[in-house]
Amino acid sequence: MPEVLLSNDDVTVLGPPEIVELQVDFGATGVRGSKVFFGAGNPNSIDIGSTPLLNDTYINISPGENYSYLYQYVSEAGANTWVEVLKMNPTIYSLIHTTTYNNGVAQITIPISNITSRGINVAGNFNVQYSIAHTNPVASSMSIPALAGAETSLVINFKAVEHTTDSGPSEWIDLDDVVTTHLFISLFEIDES
């Protein structure tokens, strides 16, 4: 409290307090914000190297099942646990393949395990995009036969024709050559509801 040094009816002069206390402590530790962890595998079954706090996140960087899943540490049914929130990126597979066409027909067979470790047995779950590199213009189509039971390979059948002017007037003929096929395959779930 300031001390009165001089006082009259017109003027009051105040001085500084006798003691000034300055505390330089940082104070109590606050709650940490969301921290992002990463590691190989499901965070519920491995030691992530630190004690998580609620709302922390974890990314599984181990190839295989649940690769690139984002987990969040939450309180669920009275216990703290990691739960899957979302997949950070879809399953994507790309390949440059040397393909031999005979009479306009070719086939590429890819082990499903090269694309995903999940047990996918529905051909419609694979989104295949492709292009054929050739010196002449090429028109093509592709089909994927239904997967039967526990089939382990994705078979892609191609039909193609090329536009040529080599033997006189321009015409479309069956592709009969070795070409490069660029494949881009993504995997998604089909909503059956």
Encode 106-132: b = buried (16+ Cβ within 10 Å), e = exposed. bebebebeebbebebeebebbebebeb
Would the pLDDT of 172 be above 90? yes
Q: Can you give the C-alpha Rg of the chain in angstroms?
A: 34
pLDDT one-digit tens code per residue, 17-72: 888 887 777 777 767 667 888 888 889 988 888 889 888 999 988 876 677 888 99
Structure confidence at residue 193 (pLDDT): 43
Q: What is the pLDDT, as a whole number, of residue 30?
A: 67
**Distance between CA 48 and CA 62 in Å, rounded?**
13
Query: Given the structure tokens 């040094």, which residue do they identify?
Result: 5
- Topology of domain 91-187, per CATH? Immunoglobulin-like (2.60.40)
- Report pLDDT digits (tens) over 79-134: 999 998 887 776 788 899 999 999 999 999 998 878 876 666 677 788 899 999 99
Average pLDDT estimate for 136-144: 94
Q: Is the pLDDT of residue 78 over 80?
A: yes
Structure tokens at 190: 């089909």
In the chain, domain spans: 36-87, 91-187
- Tell me what pLDDT residue 111 has: 87
pLDDT at 125: 81
Q: Nearest 5°: phi and psi at 161?
A: -130, 155
- Beta-carbon contacts of 115 under 8 Å, excluding residues fewer than 6 positions away, are 91, 93, 126, 154, 185, 187
Q: Quick check: 175 pLDDT over 90?
A: yes
Mean pLDDT of 144-150: 80
Position 190 pLDDT exceeds 60 = no
Which is more confidently placed, 88 or 175?
175
Could you tell me the two tokens for 124? 């419609």
Burial class (CB in 10 A: 0-12, 13-18, 19+), 41: middle
Q: What are 35's two structure tokens? A: 């921290």
